[in-house]
Amino acid sequence: MATLPSKPSSPFYLALLFILINTMATITQTEAQLSLNLYAKTCPNALNTIRTSIRSSLAVDTRMAAGLIRLHFHDCFVHGCDASILLDQTPTIRTEKTAGGNNMSITGFEAIDAAKAQVEKICPGVVSCADIVAVAARDASAYVGGPTWDVKLGRRDSTSAYPDVAVTDLPSHNDDVETLIKRFKGKGLNVREMVALSGAHTLGDAQCSSFRDRIYSDGANIDGAYAGVLRRRCPLVGGENVTAPFDPVTPDHFDNNYFRDLMRRRGLLASDQVLYSGGGVTDGIVTEYGKLAGRFRDDFAAAMVKMSEIQPLTGSAGQIRRICGAVN
């Protein structure tokens, strides 16, 4: 029978101690990653300052609410919630802003910059851009009648951008439901959370190029009258700057019309309509949300919280950027 080394100073025990110390350190770091009260002492007015600034931006352009929620989503789905999406192109950084699904479809950068500038005035070098993006999404939702939620704080900002990951990991307007489920699962989000987060499309609009194929060649899975209206707006050739709202009735108000539209085959993108196809795996959730607005609101808030905690940089990782579009 094998016996363990008898001396505590033996290489075996030293190695075991090293593993134990590192394990405990990892557990401690994980537990302390994010906190609701992180800035209570270091910047007690941070959240009020962010909210006031975001509300001021939305008062000028309410449509930016959709952009701020989408900005947070696209940040977290690419290498975690680290504000990498905010970095501008430089000789040493390839920006995410023009990569894949981000190209010409992401807005809200100016609102984040304005909020960051206000926070820097009262607490320089304390509040990260990644935290501001997360808080801004919550405040934008509340501004347009959507749910609010508690945002844990402590994300730090990346020193790199990941455009190649943006191309591979962000959902596409042509994704089928199996691909969407796989993409969200890869980020730790289940099917119900995927459908709830898709409900963010109750706000905002999309470019003609992202729904052209659907309205000209997806006959069986789109309401004919709805397709006709969109064809008059989006030509078969050209019209690259033309947009259409996801929800044509209340495009700037958070509600559950998005799901009701899916049930009438009036989803704007192919990746919207695949959530309700008549017998599909997500049909039941869409029906539930279409009937129960409160259930959708609750699930959306919970899913946003979970998404906001995807792979944050914490502790000494990353940095607190002074300007959101550039590393220090």
Binding-site positions for substrate: 171
Q: Which residues belong to the annotated binding site for heme b?
A: 201
Strands (E), the chain: 205-207, 243-245
Nearest Cα residue to 259 out of 225, 297, 228, 217: 297
Catalytic option among 74, 79, 173, 253: 74
Q: Are the C-beta atoms of 152 and 35 separated by less than 8 Å?
A: yes
Q: Is 173 a catalytic residue?
A: no
**191 contacts: CB under 8 Å, gap ≥ 6:** 181, 184, 281, 282, 285
Q: Which residues belong to the annotated binding site?
A: 75, 78, 80, 82, 84, 96, 171, 201-202, 247, 250, 255
> CA 221 to CA 277: how far, in whole Å?
8
Q: Are the C-beta atoms of 285 and 238 separated by less than 8 Å?
A: no
Chain CA centroid to CA 257, Å: 21
If you ran DSSP here, which 8-state letter would residue 242 be given? -
Residues serving a catalytic function are: 74
